[in-house]
Amino acid sequence: MKAKYIVLILSLSAATMAFPSCVKNRGGETSFGSIKPVVQIPEGGMANFGASALTFPGTDDVDTAWFRIDFAATNVASKDVTITLGYDANALAVVNSTLDPTSQYAKFPDSTYSFTTTKVTVKSGGNYSAQVPFIVFPSKIDPTKSYMFPISITDGSGNTISDNFGTIYYHVIGNPIAGGYSWDFTRWNNNTGTGTPNSLSFTGGSTVFSPDNPTKVEVPGGYLGIRYVITFTNNAGTLSNFQVSLNADDIAASLTPSGITVSDGPTILTADPVNGVYQFHFSVFNPGANASRYLIDKYYR
């Protein structure tokens, strides 16, 4: 079983933002004495909706996602606090109400998941519960369909349940090309893609096409992890009109600070959804080092 740990650490400042109306100011000094404890799922909420997307090779038998309950207070819990969790059909309905019919989610079919930990405890003297598992059986999931299983805090043992972080929205986005792929990366330290590849090249790696929506996925490339953004048209199961670009945030974070620019591409060398083969190229130029890089990533099943 391959475990996925999606644990985010919530800072005190973030925690107090959830209930600023409780903070009182006296003569320029902030008093925290009247803040009531809040129970929440720090990995949850719509702010972390993207991070709650489950991506995995469809051939995996079992995969597990984890979250914790946070007892957000000015002090640690003075006694054991038992929190009740449960599937939230209303949360699913609210999400679907914001989507067009082609993008809406169904509840995970019973055979595709296991969620049995409905009560967790934040121990006296602590702020966090033990990790709570949500178990998925990827090989039983139809990758062309979108599913969701919102888990909400249903009873906070007398404590306030966070409005913003009371639910975690585990979901998979149906996309016909999403899932696990083998991965080859080839890099040349020139602008022609000829000669001996650089030693950072590799074959037989693995990665995942992570869906953003039913006709868009992203996948990291071998050069600084910059992601390709792949879009296509799905006409009743016939895929066409493939397009590729580079993730703008990755460019801004990994290339722009060093003055490196994309000098060519990205371009599609292969887009074969029938055989599950995709190959992309782009080149970069570093004016400071007067150096070019010619890059090819190949993904295949």
Closest alpha carbon to 112 in 148, 66, 67: 148
CATH 2.60.120 fits 179-300, yes or no: no
DSSP string, 146-186: -EEEEEEEEE-TTSEEPSSSSEEEEEE---TT-EEEEEEEE
pLDDT given at position 96: 96
- Give the residue among 229, 221, 224, 272 at the shortest CA–CA distance from 248: 229
pLDDT per residue as tens digits for the range 8-39: 222 323 333 333 333 333 344 333 345 789 99
- Look at residue 208 in the predicted model and tell me its pLDDT: 87
| Residue pair 58/214 in contact by the 8 Å Cβ criterion | no
pLDDT tens, 170-221?
A: 999 989 998 889 999 999 999 999 999 999 999 999 998 988 888 999 999 9
d(Cα 246, Cα 266) in Å, to the nearest integer?
A: 7
Between the two ends of the chain, the Cα-to-Cα distance in Å is 21
Quick check: helix, strand or coil at residue 251?
Answer: helix
In DSSP notation, 68-102 reads --EEESSS--SS-EEEEEEE-HHHHHHHHHTS-GG
Angle at 115 between CA 134 and CA 73, to 5 degrees: 65
Per the structure block, which two tokens stand in for 152?
């909400």
Q: Supply the pTM of this predicted model.
A: 0.69
pLDDT in tens, 220-257: 999 999 999 999 999 988 999 999 999 999 999 999 99
CATH 2.60.40.1740 segments of the chain: 2-172
| Runs of H (alpha helix) within 76-138 | 89-97
Dist CA 154 CA 220 (whole Å) = 38
* pLDDT tens string 134-162: 999 988 988 888 999 999 999 999 999 99
Q: In this structure, are strands 179-188 and 202-213 parallel, antiparallel, or unpaired?
A: antiparallel
Predicted local distance difference test score (pLDDT) of residue 17:
33
pLDDT tens-digit series, residues 69-120:
999 999 999 999 999 999 999 999 999 999 988 889 999 999 999 999 999 9
- What secondary structure letter does DSSP report for 79? S
Q: Which residue has the tokens 């919102």?
A: 150
- Please state, in angstroms and rounded to a whole number, the distance separating the CA atoms of residues 207 and 220: 8
User: Angle CA(292)–CA(298)–CA(299) in degrees, nearest 5?
Assistant: 145
2-172: CATH topology is Immunoglobulin-like (2.60.40)
Reported as a single tens digit per residue, the pLDDT across 249-286 is 999 999 999 999 999 999 999 999 999 999 999 999 99
Angle 159-127-168 (CA atoms, 0-180°, nearest 5)?
Answer: 70
d(CA 218, CA 237): 20
Domain ranges in the chain with CATH number 2.40.128:
179-300
Tokens of 218: 């992203």
Per-residue CA distances from 169 to 2, 37, 152, 238 (Å):
20, 23, 9, 30
pLDDT > 80? residue 1: no
**SS3 state at 16:** helix
Is-contact 206 180, C-beta < 8 A? yes
How is residue 128 annotated by DSSP? Answer: B
Instruction: List alpha helices for the chain, DSSP H.
Output: 12-17, 89-97, 248-254
pLDDT of 34 reads 55
* Tens digit of each residue's pLDDT (9 = 90 or more) over 50-77: 889 887 766 678 999 999 999 999 999 9
Q: How many Å apart are CA 99 and CA 61, to the nearest integer?
A: 30
